[in-house]
Amino acid sequence: MTEKLLEVQNLRTHFFTRTGVVKAVEDVSFYLEEGETLGVVGESGSGKSVTSLSIMRLIDKPGKIVGGKILFKGEDIAEMDEDRLLQIRGGKIAMIFQDPMTSLNPVLTVGFQIAEAVKTHLKLDDKAAMNRAAEMLERVRIPEARRRLNHYPHEFSGGMRQRVMIAIALSCNPQLLIADEPTTALDVTIQAQVLELIKGLSKEFRTATLLITHDLGVVAGTCDRVVVMYAGRVVESAPTHTLFKKPAHPYTQALLQAIPRPDEPPGSRLHAISGQPPSLINLPAGCPFAPRCVKAQARCRQELPPLETKGAGQMAACFYPY
Amino acid sequence: MAAEIAQPYPSAEVASDTLVDVRNLKVHFPIRGGLLGRTVASVKAVDGVDLTIKRGETLGLVGESGCGKSTLGRAVLQLVKPTDGSVIFEGTDLTRTSYGTLRRMRADMQMIFQDPFSSLDPRFTVGRIISEPMVNFGRGTSQEREARVKELLQVVGLNPAWVHRYPHEFSGGQRQRIGIARALALNPKFIVADEPISALDVSIQAQVLNLLADLRDQFNLTYLFIAHNLSAVKHVSKRVAVMYLGHIVELGSGDDVYANPQHPYTIALLSASPIPDPELELTRKRIILTGDVPSPVNPPSGCPFHPRCWKAQAICREVAPPLEEKRPNQIAACHFPGA
């Protein structure tokens, strides 16, 4: 067995709030091979963003990683000391966030912000770093890259800012790119541009990508494999084609049916999922999806179904799959 | 342009099945600058829009941020004052009627907002939020209003026992239901729904879309449904209008617009929306537009889409294409329409 680039094992991240312990991520395991694109899909509160922040060790109080391993090329990030972490974060593992306006520093030029990352991780001098910054802006197809180096984030449009973020993230040749809802704040035509760019560049730089999104449409066009999360847990993981063709978990099935598709006849009725996701403080016993599940039996309300292999490369946490 | 001159619109001229008739509507926001605060330029948010909405119909309005779709929705309800043009609601021109008449007519025209968090007053109970429109218009006694609030909660699928709760006790989807109940309180004829599902999770979006469709059939409502998501619009509306930089660029039945888009912008928009089907995503031809939407302060000459259009010719840079019928009952503003 070859070593995986990233292997998350039984990760548990909890938030200790005044009203109780929020189990944002509970027993999450998945892996990522080199050069692969893995989609993590879920709704708000499913734990997908907390998972990605945990991988970067960016969880702040009252949150804490309380269990599990995050193996990056065999090294456990959860146990790493600050110095080693600083080498990896931004260098070997880079991240793109949802909102490019708040994740860029408004008082520094974009050239400075790209150069800063390059100087830290690639140990380049000022001049070489600026050259690298200009090269990266060109790579993300920002016109007149040289001149744009001296511009501030507010002088760029939303799509352009996200390109700048991508330029910063890829400037140090990371082996893993974590993109947390990178296109959610963008318009559809701009979303298409940015997704193409991420796809193209990650291939070119041979970067593995962890794409976090709520949009199954985005996953269909970009990912090799998908992990579906619900209420802090992984409920299904499968190759993209299998997941869309033969979803095993009733939640995945329901999610796929609930999306309006542009290629469906107008006026047709959507299959809504009744109810809402449970509170993460007071999770029901048994399967967290049971209260909303059409297939739920008595057993589902008492016992937690384990994540088991159901087909080729496909795993699901359900007693009554398909 | 001929339609610039203000004309009286006698009600007989409006076909009886037309509820809302928008003619050459313009909304320009002034940009002030300099020492004296003079108007130095203007944002042409809506720049000459013609639309009719029939009774009982849902007209979908699609476009990207900054195309003027929300401003158009607000201008139809007179929540922003149009710079020019008219909005005729049941034979009355709302832009030229008296304040008193407009206020009375507002009961028939309601709005559902995008953000279910900022559109509900956090200090009010659900009961007070939903009964406020009735209090404003002096409808019913307080007992009658209370009964109506409970009835409305039931209609939108919430527990009537929750009248004394506050907005923060509800999830996003539930809050959007409260906003819908408030919009229904006065039995309106027309509702502008401005991105009512954009802030919601996928599994909740479907619930709210289905609810809106049910309510339309139950109460014979007419919607102007604004969204940036083409798929969602297609589910609720028979006719769809596509907007770009303050102009309607294409309008037709949902079937036609989706199967045979005439305007290149519509083609690009359809091509850019991801389809949850990996096999289709692999095989279908994608058109990826270059560049961003131009500024509405200084829109391009000729066709507003020409700087991003792969079909643009010399004429597109000079002459703005008129909105004309390109296929039966399908109009588009393009010199070189079709695939």
Q: What is the pLDDT of residues A260-271, one digit of tens each?
A: 876 777 667 788
Which chain B residues contact residue A276 at CB under 8 A? 171, 173-174, 204
**Residue pairs between chains A and B whose CB atoms are closer than 8 Å:** 142
What is the predicted pLDDT for the residue at B4?
42
Which pLDDT belongs to residue B254?
A: 87
Contacts of B268 in chain A (CB under 8 A): 189
Q: B155-164, B259-268, B283-292 — which is least confidently predicted?
A: B283-292
Residue A132 lies in a domain: no
Q: Within an 8 Å CB–CB cutoff, is residue A255 touching chain B?
A: yes
- Would an 8 Å CB–CB cutoff place A19 in contact with chain B? no
Q: Is a pLDDT exceeding 70 seen at residue B263? A: yes
In this structure, are strands B84-89 and B247-253 parallel, antiparallel, or unpaired? Answer: unpaired
pLDDT digits (tens, 9 = 90+) for B281-324: 888 888 888 888 888 888 999 999 999 999 999 999 999 999 99
Give the total number of structural domains in chain A: 1
Q: What is the pLDDT of residue A266?
A: 65
φ and ψ at B31, to 5 degrees? -110, 120
Q: Which helix (H) or strand (E) holds A161?
A: helix A158-170
Token pair 């201008």 is found at: B75
The rounded distance, in Å, linking the Cα atoms of B248 and A213 is 31
Task: Kindly report whether the peptide bond that precedes residue A62 is cis, defined as omega within 30 degrees of 0.
Answer: yes
Q: Is B295 on the interface with A (CB under 8 A)?
A: no
Confidence of residue A2 (pLDDT cuts 50, 70, 90): low
Q: A23 lies in a domain?
A: yes
- Residues of chain B contacting residue A263, judged by C-beta atoms under 8 Å apart: 258, 275, 280
**CATH number of the structural domain spanning residue A55:** 3.40.50.300
Is B61 a residue whose pLDDT tops 70? Answer: yes
Residue A69: give the domain boundaries. Answer: 4-89+224-260+270-316
pLDDT of residue B7: 42
Nearest to B276 among A192, A196, A220 (CB): A220
pLDDT at B8 over 50: no
Task: State which residue of chain B sits closest to A143, comparing Cα positions.
Answer: B291
Paired tokens of A93: 């593992």
Using CB atoms and an 8 Å cut-off, which of residues 276-295 of chain A contact chain B?
A: 276-277
Structural domain includes residue A45: yes
Chain A touched by B13 (CB under 8 Å): no
Contact A276 B279 (CB under 8 A): no
Does residue B40 contact residue B32 with C-beta atoms inside 8 Å? yes
Q: Verify whether the Cβ–Cβ distance A187 to B64 is below 8 Å.
A: yes
> Is A78 contained in some domain?
yes
Q: Does B198 touch chain A (CB under 8 A)?
A: no
Going across the sheet that includes B109-112, the strands are: B109-112, B190-194, B222-227, B58-62, B239-244, B247-253, B330-332, B324-327
pLDDT digits (tens, 9 = 90+) for A3-61: 799 999 999 999 999 989 999 999 999 999 999 999 999 988 899 999 999 999 999 98
- A190/B231 Cβ within 8 A: no
Specify if A83 maps to a domain: yes
CA distance A258 to chain B (A): 6
In a domain, A68, yes or no: yes
d(CA A34, CA A96): 19
Alpha carbon distances (Å) from B46 to A279, B22, B174, B325: 43, 12, 32, 21
CA of A13, closest CA in chain B: separation in Å?
23
Res. B216 pLDDT band, cuts 50 70 90? very high
Helix, coil or strand: residue B331: strand
Question: How buried is A271 (Cβ within 10 angstroms: 0-12 exposed, 13-18 middle, 19+ buried)?
Answer: middle
Comparing CB atoms, the residue among A44, A220, A240 nearest residue B275 is A220
Chain A nearest-CA residue for B172: A276
Residue B13 phi, psi (nearest 5):
-70, -30
Residues of chain B found within 8 Å of residue A261, distances taken between Cβ atoms:
231, 275-277
B201/A260 Cβ within 8 A: no
Taking CB atoms and an 8 Å limit, are A220 and B273 in contact across chains?
no
pLDDT tens readout for residues A99-151: 877 889 999 999 999 999 999 999 999 999 999 999 999 999 898 899 999 99
A282 assigned to some structural domain: yes
State whether B207 and A274 contact (CB < 8 Å).
yes
Q: Which residue of A has its CA nearest to B281?
A: A221
**A14 part of a folded domain:** yes
- Residue identified by tokens 């597109």 is B316
Q: Does B272 touch chain A (CB under 8 A)?
A: yes
| ipTM tops 0.90 | no
